[in-house]
């Protein structure tokens, strides 16, 4: 017999915050990214990481994977990577005969909890297609049987600096990721000095080992996530506000949203998708739960709005080159401008 | 009394060249103007006659009238000194002229006889000033208006009145500015003043308050905050709001509590006592309005 829901919620929150705390101790200056990744874990969403080289993404992921428990797998995106490379690889066995072994996607079976796709945009679209299908369905057929990966969360990294031999992830594919989380170099000078001069940060494996293993039970996350999502309530005011936000991603000019350097009515080709808005609410509910609430507040939406929405926005081609900056400005201005609570709601009520 | 002494040396016409010539000094009246009818003018003659004797019977007779001037007094005094005699003769003339306009008149010339010598006293001219310059027509012209009754200087009192009235008006305006709900003066139409008016209207009705009215009340106040902040404001922005609007710093705790309560009211599913919430919002909006007007 499982304990009452409120006790489960409290226990899981305790574990979630403990995971955050321990990861924050080994990865400094990334508390916001760690909170967002924690949210993604409990919202069961895949994550696109956006950051430069050597900022500690791998260490961060390994630390989180250790805290979640389960298996951690990783693959490097290259221009010659083929879909099969995710499924199996061949080699000569001790007896000199060719053998086939399961690839990184299948190797851990149902124990796979974190799959890290490094530089996903270096891989070909065929690989993207397979990966995105697995992300959506969490199972794949191979070797004449069905492999299930029900607990897997994909963390993918994009190389945003180099454009040669890269394949841009199309908007439909980006939409499969719940969040795009920036991993930036810490702004604080003391933290940067610590990263450079404190030798403990130069041993990634030792750092990772400092996080307790299996703080969370990876194979119970799906079930708990469902209970969590059902538990957090949203009022009609907040639902109206969410609809306003959604509409504002499509027609920002209707809400008086402006942007400094561009005509806002010409920037957006397509706003957030229904799936994107659904993911926004899932992530916001987790944020409310982490803050000890049973109801959604606008602050919960704001906490994840940029990371959930910005990579889903489709800009007109002329503005794609400035996507990162424009998306940040647009989402910030939407939050600043779309009123909550609004009088239109009160009149309707 | 000042006297103008005119000393005239008169060369006496002497019939005898051997005798010593008498000397004469004449003291005329002091002023040649401003003489009115009835005034008495006095001429004093001082004659040093040597050893000769003044013939008193040659002096003019008292009562003689000539050209409006009457000789009203003749007095002679003599003083003998070693070998010669000094005679002091005083003629008093009274003016009886009938001229209606200022005119020149003369005390008549006189003659004194000392032994065989005649001493000539020249006439003395002066301006006669009539007391009345004309008839009633002229008098009417010359009538001066009566001196006005001196007024009490009310300048200080007027200033006091103006200052008092000004203070009263300013005080009334200040009271109006502080307490009035309406937008009767400039700077009274702030966002919180408007919210307070709307909330008071909402709170007035005796009907039981619904959740929708409670939310409407919250919207009024949120709108006022948004207007002051220039964007949507949430609980996390309260510090920044107070930094931008230091006038509200005194209510920072209440503002934070408002946002917490608003979140519970708007987003929590639990119901609250709407009447009490609205009443609290009316009070809070009044305090916020005071901050807005800078009178808290």
The ranges assigned to domains in chain A are 5-80+108-218, 232-348
Residue A344, chain B, CB below 8 Å: the answer is no
User: Which residue carries 């993918």 as its tokens?
Assistant: A156
Do B200 and B261 belong together in one domain?
yes
Residue A337, chain B, CB below 8 Å: the answer is yes
Do B189 and B276 belong together in one domain?
yes
Residue B202, chain A, CB below 8 Å: the answer is no
Domain covering A232-348 in this structure, CATH number: 1.10.8.80
Q: Look at residues B74, B101, B133 and tell me which one is the last residue of a structural domain.
A: B133
Contact between A235 and B268 using a beta-carbon 8 Å cutoff: yes
Residue A38, chain B, CB below 8 Å: the answer is no
Residue B190 located in a structural domain: yes
pLDDT for position B39: 92
Sequence-distant (6+) residues with CB within 8 A of A279 are A43, A45, A178, A179, A308
Q: Report yes or no: A64 and A23 within 8 Å, Cβ to Cβ.
A: yes
Do B283 and B192 belong together in one domain?
yes
Residue A331, chain B, CB below 8 Å: the answer is no
Residue B175 located in a structural domain: no
pLDDT for position A322: 87
Contact between A340 and B232 using a beta-carbon 8 Å cutoff: yes
Do B198 and B118 belong together in one domain?
no
Residue B259 located in a structural domain: yes
Q: Which residues does chain B have within 8 Å of residue A345's beta carbon, measured at their own beta carbons? A: 215, 219
A237: tokens are 């005011």
ipTM over 0.90: no
Residue B8 located in a structural domain: no
Residue A258, chain B, CB below 8 Å: the answer is no
Q: How far apart are CA B136 and CA B153, in angstroms?
A: 38
Do B209 and B125 belong together in one domain?
no
Contact between B267 and A238 using a beta-carbon 8 Å cutoff: yes
Domain span at B28: 23-133
pLDDT (tens, 9 = 90+) of chain A, 349 residues, equals 677 888 999 999 999 999 999 999 999 889 999 999 999 999 999 999 988 778 888 899 999 999 999 999 999 999 999 999 999 988 998 999 989 899 999 999 999 999 999 989 899 999 999 998 999 999 998 888 899 999 999 999 987 777 777 888 888 888 999 999 999 888 889 888 888 888 888 888 888 899 999 899 999 999 999 999 999 999 989 999 999 999 999 999 999 999 988 999 899 999 999 999 999 999 999 999 999 999 999 999 999 999 999 999 999 989 988 888 899 999 999 999 998 887 665 444 4
Helices A274-290 and A5-26: angle between axes, nearest 10 degrees: 90
Residue B101 located in a structural domain: yes
Residue B221 located in a structural domain: yes
**Residue environment code for A232-267, b if the CB has 16+ CB neighbours within 10 A, otherwise e:** bbbbebbebbbebbbbbbeebeebebbbeebebeeb
Contact between A343 and B223 using a beta-carbon 8 Å cutoff: yes
Do B188 and B261 belong together in one domain?
yes
pLDDT for position A81: 93
Q: How far apart are CA A9 and CA B67, in angstroms?
A: 144
Residues 235 to 294 of B: which have CB under 8 A from any A CB? 235-236, 263, 266-269
Q: Look at residues B133, B163, B191 and tell me which one is the last residue of a structural domain.
A: B133
Q: Look at residues B99, B117, B133 and tell me which one is the last residue of a structural domain.
A: B133
- Closest partner residue to A346 among B212, B231, B236, by Cβ? B212
How distant is the alpha carbon of residue A152 from its chain centre?
Answer: 12
Which residues of chain B have a pLDDT value below 50? Answer: 1-18
Element (H, E) at B119: strand B117-121
How many structural domains are present in chain B? 2
Contact between A238 and B226 using a beta-carbon 8 Å cutoff: no
Do B118 and B190 belong together in one domain?
no
CATH of the domain at B103: 2.60.40
pLDDT for position A231: 95
CATH of A5-80+108-218, one of 3.90.1150.10, 3.40.50.12160, 3.40.50.300, 1.10.150.110: 3.40.50.300
User: Which residue carries 């919250």 as its tokens?
Assistant: B218
Residue B198 located in a structural domain: yes
Identify the burial level of A114 via C-beta atoms within 10 angstroms of its C-beta, where 0-12 means exposed, 13-18 middle and 19 or more buried. buried
How distant is the alpha carbon of residue A302 from its chain centre?
Answer: 16
Q: Report yes or no: B81 and B43 within 8 Å, Cβ to Cβ.
A: no
Q: How far apart are CA A55 and CA A66, in angstroms?
A: 19
pLDDT for position B134: 58
B172: tokens are 């009334």
- Find the residue in A nearest to B222 (Cα): A341
**Distance (Å) from the C-alpha of residue A346 to the closest C-alpha of chain B?**
5
Do B53 and B129 belong together in one domain?
yes
First to last CA, chain B: 84
Residue B226, chain A, CB below 8 Å: the answer is yes
What 3-state class would DSSP assign to B230?
A: coil
pLDDT for position A347: 45
pLDDT for position B241: 94
Q: Which residues does chain A have within 8 Å of residue B269's beta carbon, measured at their own beta carbons? A: 233, 235, 294-295
Do B188 and B281 belong together in one domain?
yes
Q: Report yes or no: B152 and B249 within 8 Å, Cβ to Cβ.
A: no
Do B96 and B186 belong together in one domain?
no
Residue A296, chain B, CB below 8 Å: the answer is yes
Q: How far apart are CA A336 and CA B226, in angstroms?
A: 10
Q: How far apart are CA A145 and CA A227, in angstroms?
A: 31
Sequence-distant (6+) residues with CB within 8 A of B95 are B35, B36, B37, B38, B39, B41, B68, B69, B105, B128
Do B103 and B28 belong together in one domain?
yes
Residue B163 located in a structural domain: no
**Nearest 10 degrees: CA dihedral of A48, A53, A55, A59?**
70
Global confidence as pTM:
0.70
Q: How far apart are CA B167 and CA B21, in angstroms?
A: 94
Q: How far apart are CA B177 and CA B188, in angstroms?
A: 7
What is the number of other CB atoms lying within 10 angstroms of the CB of residue B152?
Answer: 5
Sequence-distant (6+) residues with CB within 8 A of B49 are B22, B84, B85, B86, B87, B114, B115
- Find the residue in A nearest to B213 (Cα): A346
pLDDT for position B92: 96
pLDDT for position B82: 77
Contact between B266 and A336 using a beta-carbon 8 Å cutoff: no
Q: How far apart are CA A115 and CA B200, in angstroms?
A: 59
Identify the burial level of A80 via C-beta atoms within 10 angstroms of its C-beta, where 0-12 means exposed, 13-18 middle and 19 or more buried. exposed
First to last CA, chain A: 42
């Amino acid at each position: 017999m499982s304990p009452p829901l409120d006790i489960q919620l409290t226990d899981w929150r305790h574990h979630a915050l403990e995971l955050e705390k321990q990861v924050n101790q080994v990865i400094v200056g990334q508390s916001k990214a760690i909170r967002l990744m924690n949210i993604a874990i409990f919202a069961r969403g895949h994550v696109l990481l956006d950051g430069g080289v050597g900022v500690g993404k791998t260490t961060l992921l390994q630390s989180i994977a250790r805290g979640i428990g389960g298996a951690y797998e990783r693959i490097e995106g290259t221009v010659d990577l083929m879909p099969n490379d995710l499924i199996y690889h061949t080699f000569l066995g001790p007896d000199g005969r060719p053998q086939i072994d399961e690839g990184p996607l299948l190797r851990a079976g149902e124990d796979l909890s974190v799959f890290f796709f490094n530089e996903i945009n270096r891989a070909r679209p065929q690989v993207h297609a397979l990966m995105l299908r697995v992300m959506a369905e969490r199972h794949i057929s191979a070797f004449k049987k069905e492999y299930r990966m029900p607990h897997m969360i994909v963390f993918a990294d994009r190389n945003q600096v180099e454009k040669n031999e890269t394949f841009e992830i199309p908007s439909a594919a980006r939409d499969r990721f719940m969040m795009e989380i920036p991993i930036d170099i810490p702004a604080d000078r003391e933290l940067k000095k610590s990263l450079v001069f404190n030798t403990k940060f130069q041993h990634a494996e030792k750092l990772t080992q400092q996080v307790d293993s299996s703080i969370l039970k990876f194979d119970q996350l799906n079930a708990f996530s469902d209970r969590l999502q059902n538990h957090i309530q949203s009022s009609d005011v907040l639902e109206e506000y969410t609809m306003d936000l959604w509409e504002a991603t499509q027609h920002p000019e209707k809400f008086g949203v402006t942007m400094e350097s561009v005509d806002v009515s010409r920037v957006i080709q397509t706003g957030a998708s229904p799936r994107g808005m659904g993911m926004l609410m899932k992530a916001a509910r987790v944020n409310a739960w982490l803050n000890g609430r049973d109801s959604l507040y606008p602050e919960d939406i704001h906490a994840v709005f940029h990371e959930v929405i910005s990579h889903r926005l489709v800009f007109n081609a002329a503005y794609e080159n400035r996507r990162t900056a424009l998306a940040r400005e647009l989402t910030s201005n939407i939050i600043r401008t779309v009123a909550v609570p609004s009088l239109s709601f009160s009149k309707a009520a | 009394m000042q006297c103008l002494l005119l000393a005239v040396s008169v060369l006496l016409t002497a019939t005898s060249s051997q005798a010593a010539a008498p000397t004469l000094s004449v003291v005329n009246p002091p002023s040649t103007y401003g003489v009115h009818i009835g005034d008495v003018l006095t001429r004093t003659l001082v004659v040093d006659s040597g050893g000769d004797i003044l013939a008193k019977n040659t002096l003019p007779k008292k009562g003689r009238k000539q050209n409006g001037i009457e000789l009203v007094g003749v007095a002679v005094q003599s003083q003998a000194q070693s070998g010669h005699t000094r005679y002091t003769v005083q003629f008093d003339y009274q003016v009886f002229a009938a001229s209606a306009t200022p005119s020149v008149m003369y005390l008549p010339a006189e003659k004194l006889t000392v032994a065989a010598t005649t001493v000539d006293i020249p006439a003395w001219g002066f301006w006669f000033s009539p007391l009345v310059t004309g008839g009633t027509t002229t008098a009417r012209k010359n009538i001066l208006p009566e001196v006005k009754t001196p007024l009490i200087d009310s300048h200080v009192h007027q200033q006091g009145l103006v200052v008092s009235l000004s203070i009263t008006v300013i005080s009334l305006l200040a009271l109006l500015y502080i307490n009035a709900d309406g937008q009767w003066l400039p700077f009274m139409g702030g966002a919180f003043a408007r919210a307070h008016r709307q909330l008071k209207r909402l709170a007035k009705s005796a009907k039981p308050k619904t959740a929708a009215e409670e939310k409407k009340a919250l919207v009024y106040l949120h709108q006022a905050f948004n207007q002051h902040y220039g964007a949507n404001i949430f609980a996390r922005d309260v510090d920044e709001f107070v930094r931008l609007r230091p006038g509200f710093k005194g209510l920072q705790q209440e503002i934070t509590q408002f946002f917490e309560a608003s979140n519970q009211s708007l987003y929590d599913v639990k119901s609250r006592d709407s009447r009490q919430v609205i009443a609290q919002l009316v009070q809070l909006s009044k305090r916020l309005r005071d901050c807005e007007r800078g009178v808290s």
